[in-house]
Chains A and B, each alone.
Chain A
Amino acid sequence: MSDTTDTGGPVLAADGTPLKRSLARALRRQKMRALLLIAPLLLFILISFILPVADMLYRSVKNGIVAETLPRTVVAIADWDADSGELPSEAVYAAMAADLKEAAAAKTHTKVGTRLNYENPGISSLFRKTGRKAKKFDIEGVASWKDELIDINKDWGDIDNWRTIQTYSPRVTSGYFLNAVDMRVGTDGAELRPEAERIYMNLLGRTLWMSLAITVCCILLAYPVAWILANLPMRQANILMILVLLPFWTSLLVRTSAWKILLQQQGVINDILVWVGLVDDSARLVIINNQFGTIVAMTHILLPFMILPMYSVMQTIPPSYLRAAKSLGATDWTAFWRVYFPQTVPGIGAGSILVFILAIGYYITPALVGGTKGTFISNQIAFHISSSLNWGLASALGAILLAVVLVLYWAYDKIVGIDNVKLG
């Protein structure tokens, strides 16, 4: 029988390897097993979710179409100095003619026109009109393409149009982002658009303040409810809890349609007001298709997300603290404000960030009850994807929204921790 203290060597595991290495191997194996269990889902999320979002982000700067459709022009125009006040050289015009001939044959000239039209309204008709004649261009047979093109359409003699083509010839552009923050590339770099064309920053501002208003409404309504749920006896609290959880489980569209029906001019709320006599039948209130409608409906929809985190925090506060404060001479208000309220701040914080994150990206409810004044930035993104087909701008707006949400998500993770998210 050997005594291990005598040998002086490393402690050995049962199979003869040093214990340290054996433990490290076991740990490594454990980590591998955990990762193997997670890997399928991670891969799934990567393909079905992360890659699509990354693809959208890439689209917000992608600008291959000009270089692909007008390859010769892009090369030829690179040296032209737009600020010289002179039109591009003869070579640029010849390159453009050759490019247009090919593009018109492939019917891609309208696409590049549409793309450039986002930056310089009117340029798409130039491409469309010239494209009609471009198929019959005899590239070698014309002495001066400069004169010929300007002859076909005098807009080819406009320096601004050439400046746009030159500015948007690189494969990556900041144009969509500038557009999304109401700026454009002017003669001296980026500049603000004219007052009348500034839409998106206003919209983003409105989205933010309305989300904030919804969050504040939710705090005000959720606090008493969470308090009463946390302080009633378990059995009664559980029954009242159902009233909170039922809206949480009810379809979003059901709740939105309910509000649409309630808030209409011929709807239940107006009927009751008329019946009570508060409002005259001829002067029914307009409480839908405006900001008021959106705020009311979304407060109702997001309220459970505020109540649940507040409730779980308030549940942990012992009622003896309040009694102690009162026995030391505090009034009801002081006891609440100095002792109880500070302890509920984490719950308010968690609920507020959650509600704000959810509110800022809402699409369905503002689209249905918001009219034109109560819509959010999401509605504009949807419009650019499905109606105006300006996907680059939609992606840039989406990227800005995503950035705001991710900052809040990060804050939520720091303050609450995503592990602590609870449902129901």
Chain B
Amino acid sequence: MALPPYATTGQRVWHYTFRVICGLIFFFLIAPIVVVIPLSFNSQDFFTFTKEMLSFDPAGYSLKHYRDFFSNPDWQDALWNSVKIAPAATILSVSLGTLAAIGLSQPHVPARRAIMATLISPMIVPLIISAAGMYFFYSRIGLAGTYWGVVLAHAALGIPFVIITVTATLVGFDRSLTRAAANMGADPVTTFFRVQMPLILPGVISGALFAFITSFDEVVVVIFVGSAKQQTLPWQMFTGLREQISPTILAVATILVAISIALLTTVELLRRRSERLRGMSPG
């Protein structure tokens, strides 16, 4: 990557221009997310930087949008609904998904490709189609507008992520370990919980975090399948952005960014741990 000492002027110019271009693209990627954070401390109800903010006058900053978020019953109900729905959907998709991923990684699985394509399809099918189908079908079986209807729908959407991360971890799993455990007299259940599970745990947790964030951020399906009683945080944001755009959204956005930073850090640490366990360089 470093510029060789014999580089011509043209090569030098291009080298630095290229870095500037890359820098601009990285800026494009990250700036919209970062810009929300200072704006959320605005003491005015504006969506742009005020003069006071630009001169770093403390009077230009306040926590009033955060206060509104934590005191407004609409936002609190939405937060509470999200917190109730996402973990239930995650548990459902992780337990079923891990089991199936172990099944899929066996050496002889009939119609493996077709099964895999079916299990990944909720990620590929446009959300509006899933939402429409679930709305029609769940109303027919009495699940529409109920807590369990939303949980079921979100679990289905989270499954592809669990399948992908757990099968990826299982690719590096050494099968002779389970055979060794069986050889020493462990039954399959013991082998699973004492030998296989601890080794694939990083992948399972990554999958769980993906499933959690899928449900926690999901808005299209919940709008159609849920009723006002299941109004989640993203749903509330969506209506907020559509109808009366209030700066409280900025505070919510900042909190959600903080949550995603926490989740991203966890997933990265787990990925490195998993690669170390498999003897690959952690990088």
- Taking Cβ atoms with an 8 Å cutoff, the residues of A that contact B are 27, 30-31, 33-38, 40-42, 44-45, 48-56, 59, 221, 224-225, 228, 231-234, 238, 240, 242-247, 249-262, 264, 266-268, 271, 300, 303-304, 332, 357, 360-364, 367-368, 378, 381-382, 385-386, 391, 394-395, 398, 401-402, 405, 409, 413, 418-419, 421-424
Contacts and interface: CB of A to CB of B under 8 A. Distances in A.
Contacts of B132: 56, 381, 385, 394-395, 398
Given A255-B33, A261-B36, A405-B125, A34 B217 contact: no
B87 interface: no
Contact of A413 (B26, B48, B117, B134): B117
Contact of A52 (B19, B137, B168, B253): B137
A363 B108 contact: no
Interface string B16-36: 001101100110111011011
A266 B245 CA distance: 14
Contacts of A409: 117, 121, 124
Given A34-B104, A35-B103, A53 B133 contact: yes
A295 to B, nearest CB: 13
Nearest to A56: B133
Interface stretch (B61-69, B172-180, B194-202, B257-265): B257-265
B79 interface: no
B38 to A, nearest CB: 10
B165 to A, nearest CB: 6
Given A261-B47, A378-B128, A251 B263 contact: no
B122 interface: yes
Contact of B118 (A50, A240, A300, A367): A50
Contacts of A303: 29
B220 A40 contact: no
B47 A52 contact: no
12 contacts: A34-B104, A44-B96, A45-B122, A50-B118, A225-B29, A253-B217, A257-B241, A260-B241, A363-B127, A381-B128, A401-B126, A409-B117
Contacts of A253: 217, 219, 234, 237-238, 241, 253, 256
A245 B264 contact: yes
A35 B110 contact: yes
Nearest to A357: B124
Contact of A256 (B96, B120, B127, B241): B241
A112 to B, nearest CB: 20
B32 A55 contact: no
Interface in B36-67: 36, 39, 46-49
Chain A interface main SS type: helix
A254 B33 contact: yes
A250 B261 CA distance: 8
A363 B161 contact: no
Given A30-B106, A44-B155, 5 more contacts: A34-B106, A37-B100, A53-B130, A56-B136, A224-B21
B5 interface: no
A34 B103 contact: yes
Nearest to A354: B124
Contacts, number: 273
5 closest A-B pairs by beta carbon, nearest first, are A361-B126, A37-B103, A52-B133, A52-B137, A41-B100
Given A271-B49, A363-B220, A36 B109 contact: no
B137 to A, nearest CB: 4
A290 B32 CA distance: 19
Contact of B283 (A238, A304, A382, A391): A238
B253 A258 contact: yes
Interface in B262-282: 263-264, 267-268, 271
Nearest to A424: B267
A418 B120 contact: yes
B129 A422 contact: no
B138 A257 contact: no
Contacts of A44: 92, 96, 155-156, 159
A105 to B, nearest CB: 26
Interface in B142-159: 152-153, 155-156, 159
B213 interface: yes
B1 A232 contact: yes
A37 B256 contact: no
A259 B33 CA distance: 9
Nearest to A385: B132
B97 to A, nearest CB: 6
B208 interface: no
Contact of A421 (B96, B122, B164): B164
A221 B100 contact: no
Contacts of B268: 242, 245, 424
A378 B97 CA distance: 29
A71 B109 CA distance: 51
Nearest to A29: B108
Given A242-B264, A246-B260, A360-B126, A257 B22 contact: no
B111 to A, nearest CB: 9
Contact of A49 (B32, B122, B224): B122
B135 interface: yes
B249 interface: yes
